[in-house]
Amino acid sequence: MAPVNNNNVQINNNENPPTKFKVTIIGSGNWGSVASKLIASNTLKLHSFHDEVKMWVFEEVLPSGEKLTDVINRTNENVKYLPGIKLGCNVVADPDLENAVRDANMLVFVTPHQFMEGICKRLVGKIRSDAQAISLIKGMEVKREGPCMISTLVSQQLGVNCCVLMGANIANEIAVEKFSEATVGYRENREIADKWVQLFSTPYFMVSPCQDVEGVELCGTLKNVVAIAAGFVDGLDMGNNTKAAIMRIGLREMKAFSKLLFSSVKDNTFFESCGVADLITTCLGGRNRKCAEAFAKNGGKRSFDELEAEMLQGQKLQGVSTAKEVYEVLKHKGWLEMFPLFTTVHEICTGRLPPSAIVEYSEHAPKFPLVGGPTAFP
Amino acid sequence: MAPVNNNNVQINNNENPPTKFKVTIIGSGNWGSVASKLIASNTLKLHSFHDEVKMWVFEEVLPSGEKLTDVINRTNENVKYLPGIKLGCNVVADPDLENAVRDANMLVFVTPHQFMEGICKRLVGKIRSDAQAISLIKGMEVKREGPCMISTLVSQQLGVNCCVLMGANIANEIAVEKFSEATVGYRENREIADKWVQLFSTPYFMVSPCQDVEGVELCGTLKNVVAIAAGFVDGLDMGNNTKAAIMRIGLREMKAFSKLLFSSVKDNTFFESCGVADLITTCLGGRNRKCAEAFAKNGGKRSFDELEAEMLQGQKLQGVSTAKEVYEVLKHKGWLEMFPLFTTVHEICTGRLPPSAIVEYSEHAPKFPLVGGPTAFP
């Protein structure tokens, strides 16, 4: 058995010589389809990967009467969730989850987060023992006893190592090859992280590894609370100055909250694409920002449920529910006063405070240890 | 002589009991006038300050035939540079620089940066020996032998300690009391920093101290280079995703450049208002962004000089000249390849590359140590 050389990527160090990596993507929505396009372009080029990329598709019958998997395999296009974009002729859609994962040693999870528990249960005992996993799923729940990280769920349920990929990633913009970045969060094994980086990187999609899986994954969820705050500022016509201040305070609270929950979380993670860049994208565009803007313009008189139904065509708003979950944690831990922005967002969403409170909480500043420069807080 | 107690602010520790602080503002443009409003509201409230705030005004004769200082002192309004806003009845405009500073022990510098050398020369020997200074001036020059920090200029020429105040500060938005933040950068004396924080803070203007005077001051200049890049992205219609990525890479280069120039510069400074917030404001609005957008829309065929003359009504664009200065430093030090964004901005401004190069440099990624996560670079 060859010793592992730190300068060489050598993941498979059992008796057999390293085999080629075989990738399966679990999920085929908008982001999953774009991920399959990125990955499929790389497996064709890189010798350490099998060309073929399997994509598990939740089967649907299209209005034409055809099955979605059949259409994807015939046209190389996900006509329902990413119309007009070729995924690559080496992407094979498979409606059978167990069959799709059977031979794979690299599993990419990219389903809506509420399906993950069920999917993991179905996969127990069905995946290869040497499999590696990565989650592209943003928006885990933050329960009172702590956040339910998707990476932890996968690791615990399936007994495999699980990285995460997060960043400023609007799927439709990456689909048309506009320049973007992403962050791969990993726990210990840098070689595995580098393998994922290699699998996703293209000239227009620049991926960097970051040894902080919790920090990277938390960014993807907490940014939605800040986007609600940024939307309020937009609705109140407060201008760019105020919006920048609110985004900065939000980033600071994301960092402080993550570090209080996981002492391993690093400051520098928030400078990565998963941190500041995803926050900027989400606060400039994004559905959380948009609905919060409408909420503030209506002086809080129309509920988020009503605005969501009217504005989002069935898509769901995560910021409001995440704000509630974060509030519960803060209350439970006695941290409410340390997080004026997170707290205020929830209190505005529930109607206890008017939208204008988002820029008024600073009057209580002396109470908050957050004020007082970088040394005053973790 | 009482010992200095670290828990108490006690700056004046000579034979006499602590005297009241007397503030003079040197400069009376748009931002200087807003600063005088903030300060004047606080000196009236805080017992440790004299009520009266002197403001040195470069004398001008208005179209009405009146002198600007006379109008300010009669109406409490800077009718030329901040019309419609009351500065406070305790602001006294003085056209005589030496007279204005004579009794002051807190000096606030807020002039255009090109006047500072001349002003410092005139002030040698004319200020109190126990005076403290702060600079609100953004955009010092970055000469090949290193940046000419305004705080260093003041310290060296006048022999006084000089802090800086930077942040996401659009003067007209603060003038109408929209919520904003700022950072006071200081070198060693936290008591002095706290005094400046106290002097500027209001419920709508939240100021935090940060022990990193160079880092804070460099942010105020380098962000303009990133704003040029962000403007190119806007002009190319690349969308929010790409813009966020470019802003993030820009922030990373600001940090890396500052740390290479001054080993004392801290990562956390870039999370403060002077860092990420000022960058966001400048890349959302701002004249650098605006002209760069027009430059890219015209495919680089109309020069920045031409666009500046047409679009800015006599105001000057700092990003283009700062990009040139930064480029000279990078070239001189052999760092060009480590700063792909800064380098590319200059090469686009000078016509050596097309505007679209701003999102293409990533193809050279393997060459750059900046790629590879937070551990790969200072």
Higher-confidence position of A17 and A171:
A171
Would you say A248 and A166 are in contact if contact means Cβ atoms under 8 Å apart? no
Length of chain A as a residue count: 378
Which of A170, A163, A28 lies closest to A106, judged by CA? Answer: A163
Residues B276, A251: C-beta atoms closer than 8 Å = yes
As to burial, measured by CB atoms within 10 angstroms (0-12 exposed, 13-18 middle, 19+ buried), residue A34 is buried
Question: How far is residue B310 from each of residues B290, B292, B301, B357, measured CA to CA in Å?
Answer: 12, 13, 15, 25
Residue with tokens 């160090």: A13
> Among positive and negative, which fits the CA dihedral B265, B267, B273, B277?
positive
Confidence of residue B3 (pLDDT cuts 50, 70, 90): very low
Which of B326, B122, B110, B79 lies closest to B226, judged by CA? Answer: B326
pLDDT (average), residues A104-132: 95
pLDDT at residue A16, as a whole number: 55
pLDDT (average), residues B84-106: 97
Pairing mode of beta strands A21-26, A106-109: parallel
Contacts of A277 in chain B (CB under 8 A): 244-245, 247-248
Inform me whether the pLDDT recorded for B140 exceeds 90.
no
Which of A236, A181, A244, A173 lies closest to B283, judged by CA? Answer: A244
Which of A358, A349, A374 lies closest to A247, judged by CA? Answer: A358
Q: Which pTM was predicted? A: 0.90
Which tokens sit at B348?
A: 């686009």
The C-alpha atoms of residue B38 and residue B56 are separated, in whole angstroms, by: 16
| 3-state SS assignment for residue B13 | coil
Would you say A169 and A144 are in contact if contact means Cβ atoms under 8 Å apart? no
Give tens-digit pLDDT for A299-358. 999 999 999 999 988 777 899 999 999 999 999 999 999 999 999 999 999 999 999 999
Q: What angle do CA A102, A104, A106 make, to 5 degrees?
A: 145
Contacts of B284 in chain A (CB under 8 A): 240, 243-244, 284
Inform me whether the pLDDT recorded for B59 exceeds 70.
yes
List CB contacts of A59: < 8 A, sequence separation 6 or more: A67, A68, A69, A95
The C-alpha atoms of residue B85 and residue A286 are separated, in whole angstroms, by: 36
Which of A96, A98, A36, A109 lies closest to A69, judged by CA? Answer: A96
In sequence order, what DSSP letters do the residues of A316-330 get, joined into one string? ---HHHHHHHHHHHH
The single-letter code of the amino acid at B21 is F
User: Helix/strand/coil (H, E, C) string of A81-135?
Assistant: CCCCCECCCCEEEECCHHHHHCCCCEEEECCCHHHHHHHHHHHCCCCCCCCEEEE
pLDDT (average), residues B245-274: 97
Would you say A353 and A323 are in contact if contact means Cβ atoms under 8 Å apart? no
Would you say B43 and B196 are in contact if contact means Cβ atoms under 8 Å apart? no
The C-alpha atoms of residue A203 and residue A221 are separated, in whole angstroms, by: 27
Inform me whether the pLDDT recorded for B249 exceeds 50.
yes
β-sheet bridge partners, residue B92: B54
Contacts of A171 in chain B (CB under 8 A): none
Residues A276, B239: C-beta atoms closer than 8 Å = no
Residues B373, A272: C-beta atoms closer than 8 Å = yes
Which tokens sit at B279?
A: 């960058």
Give tens-digit pLDDT for B290-344. 999 999 999 999 999 999 999 988 777 899 999 999 999 999 999 999 999 999 9
pLDDT at residue B361, as a whole number: 55
Pairing mode of beta strands B180-185, B162-166: antiparallel
Inform me whether the pLDDT recorded for A221 exceeds 70.
yes
Pairing mode of beta strands B106-109, B21-26: parallel
Would you say B163 and B196 are in contact if contact means Cβ atoms under 8 Å apart? yes
Inform me whether the pLDDT recorded for A179 exceeds 50.
yes
Q: What is the mean pLDDT of chain A?
A: 90
Residue with tokens 């006038």: B33
The C-alpha atoms of residue A150 and residue A185 are separated, in whole angstroms, by: 12
Taking CB atoms and an 8 Å cut-off, how many pairs form between chains A and B? 180
pLDDT at residue A18, as a whole number: 60
pLDDT at residue A369, as a whole number: 38
Residues B241, A210: C-beta atoms closer than 8 Å = no
Distance between B220 CA and the closest CA of chain A, angstroms:
15
Higher-confidence position of B81 and A363:
B81
The C-alpha atoms of residue B82 and residue B173 are separated, in whole angstroms, by: 11
Residue of B nearest to A277 (CA): B244
Which of B185, B58, B192, B70 lies closest to B119, judged by CA? Answer: B58
Residues B238, A179: C-beta atoms closer than 8 Å = yes
Mutate to test the interface with A, among B179, B196, B289 (most CBs of A within 10 A): B179
Contacts of B204 in chain A (CB under 8 A): 359, 362
pLDDT at residue A7, as a whole number: 38
Here the ipTM equals 0.90
pLDDT at residue A135, as a whole number: 98
pLDDT (average), residues B356-363: 75
A223 is catalytic: yes
Would you say A52 and A228 are in contact if contact means Cβ atoms under 8 Å apart? no
pLDDT at residue B219, as a whole number: 97
pLDDT (average), residues B7-15: 44
Distance between B103 CA and the closest CA of chain A, angstroms:
30
Contacts of B240 in chain A (CB under 8 A): 168, 170, 173, 280-281, 284-285
pLDDT (average), residues A31-38: 98
pLDDT at residue B365, as a whole number: 42
Encode A136-170: b = buried (16+ Cβ within 10 Å), e = exposed.
bbbbbebeeeebebbbbbbbebbebbbbbbbbbbb
Of B204, B208, B371, the CB nearest to A373: B208
pLDDT at residue B139, as a whole number: 81
pLDDT (average), residues A290-306: 95
Inform me whether the pLDDT recorded for A372 exceeds 60.
no
The C-alpha atoms of residue B45 and residue A86 are separated, in whole angstroms, by: 66
Q: What is the mean pLDDT of chain B?
A: 90
Inform me whether the pLDDT recorded for B8 exceeds 70.
no
pLDDT (average), residues B81-98: 97
Inform me whether the pLDDT recorded for A373 exceeds 70.
no
User: Helix/strand/coil (H, E, C) string of B201-256?
Assistant: CECCEEEEEECCHHHHHHHHHHHHHHHHHHHHHHHCCCCHHHHHHHHHHHHHHHHH
Inform me whether the pLDDT recorded for A90 exceeds 70.
yes
pLDDT at residue A291, as a whole number: 96
Higher-confidence position of A310 and A367:
A310
pLDDT (average), residues B274-288: 95
Task: Spot the catalytic one: B223, B266, B290, B297.
Answer: B223
A25 DSSP 8-state letter: E
Out of B14-23, B25-34, B300-309, B343-352, least confident range: B14-23
Residue A353 Cα to chain centre, angstroms:
30
Confidence of residue B16 (pLDDT cuts 50, 70, 90): low
pLDDT at residue A316, as a whole number: 77
